Amino acid sequence: MIGDEEIAIETTLNGKPLKTRVRARQHLADFLRQELELTGTHLGCEHGICGACTVLIDGRTARSCLTLAAQISGHAVETIEGLSDSGKLAELQAEFIARNAAQCGFCSSGLLLTAYEVVASGAQLSRSEIREVISGNMCRCTGYHAIVDAIQAVMTKGRC
Amino acid sequence: MKARNFHYIKPASLAHALRILANADGEAVPVAGGQSLLAGLNMRLSAPKLLVDIGDLDELRGQSRTADSVRLGALTRHADLLTSDLVAQDLPLLRTAAPHIGHLAIRNRGTLGGSLAYADPAAELPACAVALDASLVLGSLLGEREVRAEDFFKGLFETDLRPGELIVAVKFPIQPAGTRVAFAELSRRHGDFALVGLAVVASMQGDRLDKARPVYFGCADRAMFAPSVAAAITGLRPPFDDDSAFAPAIRQDLSPDDMPGLRADTRLHMATVLTGRVLNSLSERAAA
């Protein structure tokens, strides 16, 4: 019988070192939400389709439902909480608010992080390219138009 | 849902990983990006006893080129295929195919070795590996052996991997100058599984197709080389005005099953339309 095996991990979470133990089978989203009460990372489909659980691992977007908490040992994780507090998302958040691009808000943290990765890369994308980038993040309010507008506005200003 | 319980171990070296795999009686599954595996675990489609995290093993990284082949480490991420100069120069098929793999966040984590080992019949990279006649380098405690991609894929999620073996790298032969490649797929949504897809590598005699390797995916139990289509288009000059040159050959090579919401003949029609598009894009595409 396999018990709830615990794994020691050392990671950097939102810029701060974190040394703890995680259950082997616990995915990163549950670890963030249940153990650390960082509930800004949402959990929708839990099999990699909806994008609500997007976080940054080593600066790149990743599905936290398709990553084991144990796998982040030795890597840096950033969540919506850390990126909001640091002000890195301020511009995107302001543009989302200005256009009501966050309607029910469930997809917003994932969309903001996905948008952040491309905006921070300095890419200048067309509307159809932006749609392709966010194609892995589902908004069931279907408010994509305003979301694309908001991302494009930040991209045009050339800062994030 | 949540995954069933399992043991997890993160070996410090490739040798350590191979030892663990060898001693696991076939009950261990390697995990790297985990972008297909963890979805399957969460849905309880599979429940291995032990996950061996190979995601941080440096021995499985790296890209190198010799006179006759490009070697990509098993941990090459899909996103790397879009940014690697070596891939852009020598493996344009992989670069063309990569944007079709999942979504941005999936491509940031998923790996080449993982995609080949998982052997999803609708996956892009197995088809590219077969079309490019790649060889998979399989490591185990007994040493390394190489298997041609076409022989590696045995069926639905089935491969030639033996217990204790791990894909350590993939070798892609350098294509002769003037080789052309094309890739396309049809799916219901962007990033969704291909209902039918096609990767083609072809050499040209002047403006005529010489040796072509069409490999279909998403419409059989594995990425499948289509010999009748290859024979039918050899010697022809793209672009094709209609599908009469290859439509009968497609029906010889492919025999998809009826599925809820998608009849077999619909899928054959889609394969025919897609084949026309892909072959016509060969004539536009710059030489590899």
Residue pair A130/A66 in contact (Cβ under 8 Å)? The answer is: no
Q: What is the mean pLDDT of residues B65-75?
A: 97
* Residue B287: pLDDT band with limits 50, 70, 90: very low
Mean model confidence pLDDT for chain B? 95
How many independent structural domains does chain B possess?
A: 3
Sorted by sequence, the CB contacts under 8 Å of residue B8 that are 6+ apart come out as A5, A7, A24, A25, A68, A70, B50, B51, B53
Yes or no, beta carbons of A24 and B79 under 8 Å apart = no
Q: What's the gap in Å between the CA of A74 and the closest CA on chain B?
A: 9
Q: Indicate whether B156 pLDDT > 50.
A: yes
Cα separation, A58 vs A73, in Å, equals: 11
Look at residue B285 in the predicted model and tell me its pLDDT.
Answer: 52
Higher pLDDT, B241 or B80: B80
Give SS3 for B203. Answer: strand
Instruction: Give yes or no: residues A137 and A110 share one domain.
Output: yes
Look at residue B286 in the predicted model and tell me its pLDDT.
Answer: 47
Q: Is A70 in the B-facing interface, judged by CB distances under 8 Å?
A: yes
Residue pair B121/A153 in contact (Cβ under 8 Å)? The answer is: no
Instruction: Give yes or no: residues A66 and A96 share one domain.
Output: no
* ipTM of this complex: 0.95
Instruction: Give yes or no: residues B113 and B205 share one domain.
Output: no
Q: Does any domain span residue B230?
A: yes
Q: Is B108 in the A-facing interface, judged by CB distances under 8 Å?
A: yes
Instruction: Give yes or no: residues B73 and B27 share one domain.
Output: no
* A and B: number of Cβ contacts within 8 A: 100
Q: Does any domain span residue A28?
A: yes
Listed residue (B142, B126, B283) closest to B218, CA to CA: B126
* Residue B207: pLDDT band with limits 50, 70, 90: confident
Instruction: Give yes or no: residues A126 and A145 share one domain.
Output: yes
Can you give the CATH number for the domain in which B148 is found? 3.30.465.10
Q: Does any domain span residue B1?
A: no
Category of B219 on φ-ψ map: left (φ > 0), alpha (ψ -120 to 50) or beta: alpha
Q: What is the mean pLDDT of residues A128-136?
A: 96
Question: Residue B275 carries which side chain, given as an amino acid letter?
Answer: T
**How much of chain B, in percent, has pLDDT values that exceed 90?**
90
Question: Residue B101 carries which side chain, given as an amino acid letter?
Answer: I
Can you give the CATH number for the domain in which A45 is found? 3.10.20.30
Q: Does any domain span residue A108?
A: yes
Question: Residue A35 carries which side chain, given as an amino acid letter?
Answer: E
Look at residue B288 in the predicted model and tell me its pLDDT.
Answer: 43
pLDDT digits (tens, 9 = 90+) for A60-73: 999 999 999 999 99
Sorted by sequence, the CB contacts under 8 Å of residue A85 that are 6+ apart come out as A14
Instruction: Give yes or no: residues A12 and A75 share one domain.
Output: yes
Q: What is the mean pLDDT of residues B196-212?
A: 93
User: Could you identify the residue written with the tokens 């010889």?
Assistant: B252
User: Could you identify the residue written with the tokens 């094309």?
Assistant: B182
Yes or no, beta carbons of B104 and A117 under 8 Å apart = yes
Yes or no, beta carbons of A48 and B38 under 8 Å apart = yes
Look at residue B192 in the predicted model and tell me its pLDDT.
Answer: 83
